[in-house]
């Protein structure tokens, strides 16, 4: 063995050194030159752990830009941290690459990760890079920190509390429809800006980390909306043992979603069950609502009251005629 070999390392080592080591500037990442990374939690803290995996052809389109794919992979995890009230502390990246992954693609992927790692204060700490005969797979494990015992669970909702949701619902699900069938833009009467808005909401979600501390301070239960508001809120109410009654007309919609639904009212099902929203749905006691509203407003994040939790179990969306909506499928599932 020549002395140079271990210093040069394998192709995998070179790939890591070139594209990912520059992102790993946290001391505990050891520049990706060790077997493991270190996270030093402040005393009296809890570490919040979350993992989401995305696969080409399943969770994103193989020809989506690599930087957008990278940002989506990180942001879907950041969204979980936000909904739990945790502040980002770093992430591990597991990347499976097919043989035809190009240097250009990898460079763009790394650039996307770097942009959002900086933006959200969530540095790369380590990970693994492997070959696959299958599609590109990006699995992110993200770590969040919060004072011990303060994670916001799904199970804390109580009867009498308000159900609130950040941002707007349904944009990404409509964006996915547009991505699959560009012709529906005309059918829905969307102008270019509306179409672009919906498609960008699918391509790169906007996690609500700016209000994580406010959620932790004021919400009794919360989760991020990834598989559709109807199903996700149903899960939250299920484990909390409450029945949420939601006013369909109060579900916050973007101008573009409102335009599309005006053209085709049946889209309400896509909007409420399609998923990929990455907004936070939460329950809030009456005396906390004003404070949470103020905190969200200060952070520039819209927060809308859409209904109320009462006795029972589940979630019901009430239409203007007073009847509960029924959906073919309450939430999105690849299975």
Per CB under 8 A, does 74 bind a second copy?
A: no
What length does the chain have? 335
- Residues in the interface with a second copy (CB under 8 A) total 98
Per CB under 8 A, does 111 bind a second copy?
A: no
Per CB under 8 A, does 227 bind a second copy?
A: yes
Region near a second copy per CB under 8 A, out of 91-99, 116-124, 175-183, 204-212 = 91-99
Structure tokens at 60: 């994103």
Per CB under 8 A, does 311 bind a second copy?
A: no
Rounded-to-integer distance, Cα 135 and Cα 144, Å:
29
> Least distance (Å) from a second copy to the CB of residue 262?
23
Ramachandran category for residue 122: left, alpha or beta (phi over 0 → left; psi -120 to 50 → alpha): beta
Per CB under 8 A, does 103 bind a second copy?
A: no
Rounded-to-integer distance, Cα 172 and Cα 241, Å:
29
Region near a second copy per CB under 8 A, out of 67-75, 130-138, 161-169, 196-204 = 130-138
Region near a second copy per CB under 8 A, out of 54-62, 205-213, 253-261, 296-304 = 54-62
Q: How many CB atoms lie within 10 A of CB 53?
A: 16
Per CB under 8 A, does 248 bind a second copy?
A: no
Sole binder of a second copy in the list 111, 155, 200, 217 (CB under 8 A): 155
> Least distance (Å) from a second copy to the CB of residue 200?
23
> Least distance (Å) from a second copy to the CB of residue 149?
9
Sole binder of a second copy in the list 71, 84, 195, 208 (CB under 8 A): 84
Rounded-to-integer distance, Cα 194 and Cα 203, Å:
14
Q: Which is nearer to a second copy, 12 or 191 (CB)?
A: 12
Tell me the DSSP string of 145-159: EEETT-PPPSTT--T
Per CB under 8 A, does 127 bind a second copy?
A: yes
Binding track over 250-279 against a second copy, x by CB under 8 A: ------------------------------
Are 151 and 215 within 8 A, CB to CB?
A: no
Tell me the DSSP string of 114-173: HHHHHHHT--EEEEEEEE-SS--EEEEEEEEEEETT-PPPSTT--TTPEEEEES-SSHHH
Structure tokens at 199: 């498609």
């Amino acid at each position: 063995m020549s002395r140079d070999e271990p210093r040069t390392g394998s192709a995998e080592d070179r790939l890591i050194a070139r594209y990912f080591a520059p992102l790993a500037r946290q001391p505990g990442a050891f520049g990706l030159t060790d077997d493991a990374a270190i996270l030093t939690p402040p005393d009296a803290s809890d570490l919040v752990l979350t993992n989401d995996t995305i696969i080409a052809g399943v969770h994103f389109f193989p020809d989506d830009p690599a930087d957008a794919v990278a940002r989506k992979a990180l942001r879907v995890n950041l969204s979980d941290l936000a909904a739990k009230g945790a502040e980002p502390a770093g992430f591990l990246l597991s990347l499976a690459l097919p043989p035809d992954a190009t240097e250009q693609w990898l460079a763009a992927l790394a650039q996307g990760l770097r942009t959002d790692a900086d933006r959200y204060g969530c540095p790369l700490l380590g990970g693994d890079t492997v070959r696959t005969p299958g599609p590109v797979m990006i699995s992110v494990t993200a770590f969040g920190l919060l004072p011990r015992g303060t994670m916001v669970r799904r199970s804390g909702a109580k009867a009498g509390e308000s159900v609130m949701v950040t941002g707007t619902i349904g944009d990404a699900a409509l964006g996915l429809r547009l991505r699959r069938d560009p012709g529906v833009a005309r059918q829905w009467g969307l102008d270019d800006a509306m179409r672009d808005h919906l498609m960008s909401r699918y391509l790169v979600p906007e996690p609500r980390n700016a209000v994580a501390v406010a959620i932790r301070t004021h919400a009794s239960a919360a989760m991020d909306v990834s598989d559709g508001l109807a199903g996700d809120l149903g899960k939250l109410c299920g484990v909390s043992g409450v029945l949420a009654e939601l006013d369909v007309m109060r579900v916050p919609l973007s101008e573009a979603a409102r335009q599309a639904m005006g053209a085709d009212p049946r889209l309400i099902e896509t909007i409420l069950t399609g998923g990929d929203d990455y907004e936070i749905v939460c329950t809030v006691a009456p005396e906390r609502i004003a404070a949470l509203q103020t905190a969200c407003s200060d952070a520039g994040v819209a927060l809308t009251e859409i209904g109320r939790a009462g006795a029972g179990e589940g979630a019901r969306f009430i239409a203007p005629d007073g009847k509960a909506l029924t959906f073919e499928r309450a939430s999105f599932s690849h299975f």
